[in-house]
Structure 1
Amino acid sequence: MAFRLKFTHDPHNVHVQVPDLRPATIYARFSSEFPDALTPTSMTAAALTLRWLDSDGDWIEIRRDDKDFEQILLQVVNKNGMVHIQSGFTSGADEPTQLGTLMHRYERVMDSFDHLSRTVVKLPPISNILIVTKPDPKLSKLTKELSVWVLETFPGITLFVDKKLQGRSSFKYQEILDQNPSWNDRLQFWTKDCQACKEKQIHLAVTLGGDGTVLYTTWMFQKRVPPIVAFHLGSLGFLTNFCFDSYRPTLSNIIRGEGMNLNIRMRLQCSVYKYKEGPNIYSPLQQQPDQMLPINGLDVHSTNVAPMTTLTSSSATAGDSDDSDGDDEEELRRQRVESRQKAEILRRVKEMDSKRGTEVMDLGICHGKGQTLITRVPTPSTRPDGISGISIGVGEAGGEEVIRPTDTWQVLNEVTIDRGSNANMLQLELFVDGNHVTTILADGLVIATATGSTAYSLSIGGSLIHPDKNSVIISPIAPHSLTARPMIIPGTKHLRVCVPASSRTTAWASFDGRHRQELGKGDSIMITASRYPATTICRRDQSTDWFTGLTQVLNWNSRVLQKPLESHL
């Protein structure tokens, strides 16, 4: 028996028949129909990924080890007569979605979001707890009190406490061991250097301090963040919902597996890319411009020009007018090639920003007003016809290069780009999904999450955003335009902030107030939604905790009420 399938690998479609519906058979047939799918030219090397279209209009990934996939797909074939399968590198735009399907999908997404915010969650068994304490001598005694109580009450729990507390007299580590020598193995100490190897071992994080302590805890985990229960022992306490006096019932309910509400806070992944000066790839003694290699295998021009010959003594005796004409022709050829290359690079930058977002490729030109923002050192390659040239692209084959970020951070509050100690105004180029949005002339720019909307972004006039909303707020700092107002965009967008070559000053960037570094002309920061959110445990629920913090901590819209009119009579 043969089964009909429709294969799509952008932009081509083909109808095939297969003897069975096993994942291995489908992958093998798809690879034979589209051999280029195994080595995508627009991305780095990646394994082939296929998706199939279900009855709700959703694309579902085909897992190679899925044992139930054959039966599921058989039911779809019997019902519809055919199944549509596409590669993971296409967007599905070739197959228009019905309006009814789209509206049904929207309703399901809205119901899912509403259900997510109200879901009561039960944490998995907890055996390792991390305690992060604000560096205050008074809190060392409270950390000891909390540690001793957990060790006595829950024999299966191992605590990780700050290494700095081990030698402090207020913590009295030796006194704890004298009380029970068996606690020596269950009371461990963490440092910033060894915390990375313990990320997967920590099941719960307890913070004793203020909002800064919570930020520091999330910063320690640059990947998966364990659930955080924050006790208010700091100054402000917008993120610390629990009172330390009630730590016993609070932690007892959590450790024993009682249901609770969680606040899943989106974080931003910020990747810094540094400018590198490249060689003059248009030097006549090195390379003829019209013989440049195609970019990622695509010809950037179709003009065939004979190779330029080396100047001889006879040619050197030609008149000045001949030299001038030759220089003009050479300049025109160079401009044509450069124009076509910029157009191709522009297209690939847009494709990169809209589909990948987390990596900036070796592209040479950052589009937008023709300003050279990122220049990379191209590697020599050889065309099939033996002509040497320059290749600008990605991957390892063919002498191509991939540019990687110098630093990548996951931030909970905001990334701040400012002019630092420079007296001049800062110029920044803002791109969203590869499209140039605006040129910002200001003292700086703050790009914050919903959690960070009540921090630095709020102080410069930004809006308040509920933490349940996965949005990003872009707020200029002292802009040189009255119409430059804070802007809220979806968290799924890919942002890039560049310091253009025309900027009079350099910029300075900080991530949640840490790792402050200078951004020179041509440097850029790619900002996307992180795959690793920060999870905090709610005292009541998301909305109640947030609005309570607005009124009690920030005193939002607090003022003396008007007296009734009859009070003056």
Structure 2
Amino acid sequence: MTLRLKFTHGSHSVHVQVPDLRPATIYARFSSEFPDALKPTSTSTAAPTLRWLDSDGDWIEIRRDDKDCEHILLQVVNKSGVVHIQSGFTCSADEPTTQLGTLMHRYEKVMDAFDHLSRTVVKLPPISNILIVTKPDPKLSKLTKELSVWLLDTFPGITLFVDKKLQGRSSFKYQEILDQNPSWEDRLQFWTKECQTCKDKQIHLAVTLGGDGTVLYTTWMFQQRVPPIVAFHLGSLGFLTNFCFDTYRPTMTNIIRGEGMNLNIRMRLQCSVYKYEEGPNIYSPLQKQPDQLLTANGLDAHSTSTVSVTTLTSSSTTADGSDDSDDDGGESHRQRVESRQKAEIMRRVKEMDSKRGTEVMDLGVCHEQGHTLLKMVPNPSTRRDSVSGIGIGVGGAGGEEMIQPTDTWQVLNEVTIDRGSNAGMLQLELFVDGNHVTTILADGLVIATATGSTAYSLSIGGSLIHPDKNSVIISPIAPHSLTARPMIIPGTKHLRVCVPAASRTTAWASFDGRHRQELGKGDSVMITASRYPAATICRRDQSTDWFTGLTQVLNWNSRVLQKPLESHL
């Protein structure tokens, strides 16, 4: 099977045929047709990318790691017969727009896209591997067996993955299932807590038997791509579980046979933990001028240090090495140089943080003078004589990279930072897009998604957020200030919560109630929107399921109605 593509580079176009539409195939074929098209230019260090033209006339970037690109482009080829692909640089949101009408048109298209997404009826691709996650309740083992036997008997092409713990339970009766049909042994497999048996095979659908906690656990198992989840209500609350188990046969039949349905695309948060580490001072502020410290080459080009650390020191020596601790002029000069240096570094770091979303540490709030600000490690792919500036070359070609986080998690509900067993009040610094927003004095802080707005965030006074809204709600826990109220911000913002050096106590962080760990002074958590959302299958549609859950499960705004005025007569 061959597929037609139209390649355009500059004023030249050519029609080609490719065996598949994987990004790697498209990039390789484009490079063979236009060898110099995807190389960095003299005016930009970034390499051009490829973009394809959709039906609305918009150019969409083809990412090399996009696993869904092939499926989308195949639909376009089947509909129009050819896909138009051209080279170019991806437009940045920070680039100025010359026409106001263009900006308004983009806004209109984004709003239409979100509205269309919530009402789109989706047909799932062919399903062959199904993961069943069961709440650890012995009573549900029989129901898991009932569902498994029916799926194996009704759909011969289905392979099931069931919890390994059920294999030895008498209520599941694994041997009785094999006696019923010995050929099911290869189609009924078992997964462990780490889902080791599922890694070699792609899971096309996840079925949960339990409550909301089972749904959270299922999304936690998939720290990257999450398969669509159909949740049967067999737990306590059931706000996220829309389907009744009594109707599992028609429900599963419609899903597996590819009937149209609505999906609830639930935003997740990517939470990265950074641990503060003391580092040696590399330079004194008076040894170089600020403009020299912030050049493209940054540190000494002949430096062979394996780890370079950018610091603000409190050195009191002049450039010639003499002691000026008693010289008012020297002290004043040192303070001016240090102030200019700090302001310039802050400006560059903020610019880098807001434009590239780089996970950086702040200056002067979480750390005192002499403490590490940005810790950099050498990039193995660069030459030894290529040394980056003070965090300016992060993520770019050449230079050094920022130290990696100690832990990174994808959470569906919320990340909670609290005081733990400490009796005192917790002090936290909140940053949004690299800008310091406020200092929070409270028992803790909850940063939740729209899905998590009906959980812990709601119990501490947070607002309800429709799951169709990609927003983040920040809710203080028992704040010391009465004006510290919950705050809803766009999900595209980059948040960071830091325990400052001046804090009296340490903090504790948990992610969807898991992996609880202590945050010491100087430690921080970077929170951004995850590239891997969780999709749950709707019983009806997003709004209907959500409002039904509010009224029937949470009893939202339920009360006895007032009697008419004449009722007492």
- Which TM-score applies when normalising by structure 2? 0.79
Instruction: Tell me if the contact between 2:208 and 2:230 (Cα under 8 Å) persists in the aligned partners.
Output: yes
Relative distance call for 1:426 and 1:156 in structure 2 (3 A) is same
Matched residues in 2 for 1:463 and 1:440: separation?
A: 19
Alignment match, 1:549? 549
Do the aligned partners of residues 95 and 247 (structure 1) sit closer, same or farther apart at CA in structure 2, a change above 3 Å counting? closer
- Contact kept in structure 2, 1:31 and 1:37, CA below 8 Å: no
Q: How far apart are residue 202 of structure 1 and its match?
A: 0.4
Query: Residue 375 of structure 1 aligns with which residue?
Result: 373
Contact kept? 1:126, 1:157, Cα under 8 Å: yes
Would you say 1:253 and 2:250 are equivalent positions? no
User: Does structure 1 conserve the Cα–Cα contact (< 8 Å) formed by 2:272 and 2:525?
Assistant: yes
Say whether residues 1:93 and 2:92 are aligned partners: no
- Asked if 2 retains the 8 angstrom alpha-carbon contact of 1:272 and 1:406, the reply is yes
Verify the 8 A CA contact 2:417 2:446 in the aligned structure 1.
yes
Q: 1:119-174 CA distances to partner (integer Å, 9 max, x unpaired)?
A: 11111110000000000000001101111111111111000000000011111111
Aligned to 2:512: 512
Change (3 A) 1:186 1:475: same
Alignment of 1:214-253 (within 5 A): 214-253=215-254
So what's the TM-score if we normalise by structure 1?
A: 0.79
Find the aligned partners of 1:63 and 1:193 in 2 and give their Cα distance: 29
| Conserved? CA contact 1:374–1:523, under 8 Å | no
CA distance in 1 between partners of 2:53 and 2:343 (Å): 34
CA-CA distance at 1:460 after TM superposition: 0.3
Deviations 1:220-274 (A, max 9, x none): 0001100100000000000001111111111011111111111110001111111
Shift of 1:108: 2.1
Note if contact 1:430-1:440 (Cα within 8 Å) is conserved in structure 2: yes
2:202 is the counterpart of 1:201: yes
Q: Give the aligned partner of residue 37 of structure 1.
A: 44
Deviation by residue 1:443-493 (Cα, 9 ceiling, x = unmatched): 110000000000000000000011011111010000111111111111111
Summarize the Cα distance change of 1:329–1:290 in structure 2 as closer, same or farther, 3 Å threshold. Answer: farther
Shift in Å at residue 435 of structure 1? 1.3
- Name the residue aligned to 1:13: none
Q: Which residue of 2 aligns with 1:288?
A: 287
Paired residues of 2:387 and 2:399 also in contact (CA < 8 A): no
Q: Which residue of the partner structure matches residue 8 of structure 1?
A: none
Q: Which residue identity is paired with 2:548? A: T
How far did residue 395 of structure 1 move?
6.1
Residue 458 of structure 2 is matched in structure 1 by: 458
Deviation digits for residues 485-528 of structure 1, max 9, x if unmatched? 11111111111111111111111100000000111111111111
Q: CA deviation at 1:560?
A: 1.2
Provide closer, same or farther for how the CA distance between residues 374 and 559 of structure 1 changes in structure 2, counting only shifts above 3 A. Answer: farther
Secondary structure, aligned partner of 1:101: helix
CA–CA distance in structure 2, aligned partners of residues 388 and 164 of structure 1: 53
Cα distance change on mapping 1:428 and 1:330 into 2, 3 Å:
same
Q: Distance in 1 between the 2:250 and 2:52 partners?
A: 49
Cα distance in 2 for partners of 1:109, 1:150 equals 40
CA contact (8 A) 1:290 1:334 kept: no
Helix, strand or coil for the counterpart of 1:151?
A: helix
Aligned residue number for residue 360 of structure 1: 359
The residue number in structure 1 matching 2:304 is: none
Q: Aligned-pair distance for 1:397?
A: 8.5
Matching of residue 567 in structure 1 with residue 567 in structure 2:
yes
Q: How does 1:44-193 map to 2 (within 5 A)?
A: 47-49=47-49, 60-61=60-61, 87-88=89-90, 90-91=92-93, 93-96=95-98, 98-193=99-194
On the 8 A contact 1:150/1:157 being kept in 2, the answer is yes
3-state SS of 2:224 partner: coil
Are residues 254 and 291 of structure 1, via their aligned partners in 2, closer, same or farther at CA, if it must alter by over 3 Å?
Answer: closer
Over 3 Å counting, the alpha-carbon distance change for 1:559 and 1:63 in structure 2 is closer
The secondary structure found in structure 2 opposite 1:548 is: helix
**1-structure distance, mates of 2:377, 2:96:** 36
Equivalent position SS for 1:375: strand
Q: Which amino acid aligns with 1:558?
A: S
Deviation (angstroms), 1:280: 2.9
User: For 2:122, what is the secondary structure of its paired residue?
Assistant: coil
Structure-2 separation of matches of 1:107 and 1:455: 32
AA aligned to 2:373 is: T
Contact 1:241 1:539 in 2 (8 A): yes
Q: How far apart are the structure 1 equivalents of 2:454 and 2:117?
A: 23
Determine which structure has more spread, i.e. the larger CA radius of gyration. 1
With over 3 angstroms needed to count, the CA separation of the structure-2 counterparts of 1:202 and 1:369, relative to structure 1, is: closer
The aligned counterpart of 1:428 is: 428
SS of the residue corresponding to residue 402 of structure 2 reads coil
Alpha carbons of 1:543 and 1:495: their partners in 2 closer, same or farther (altered >3 Å)? same
Tell me the SS of whatever aligns to 2:293.
Answer: coil
Structure 2 residue 535 is matched with structure 1 residue 528: no
Q: CA deviation at 1:87?
A: 3.9
CA RMSD of aligned residues (A): 3.8
- Asked whether the 8 Å contact 1:270–1:525 carries over to 2, the reply is yes
1:272-291 alpha-carbon deviations (Å, 9 max, x no partner):
1110111133469xx93559
Task: Quote the offset at 1:294 in angstroms.
Answer: 3.2
Contact 1:293 1:389 in 2 (8 A): no
8 A Cα contact 1:268 1:410, kept in partner = yes
Count of aligned pairs between the two proteins: 507
Q: Which residue is 2:413 aligned to?
A: 413
Amino acid at match of 2:100: L
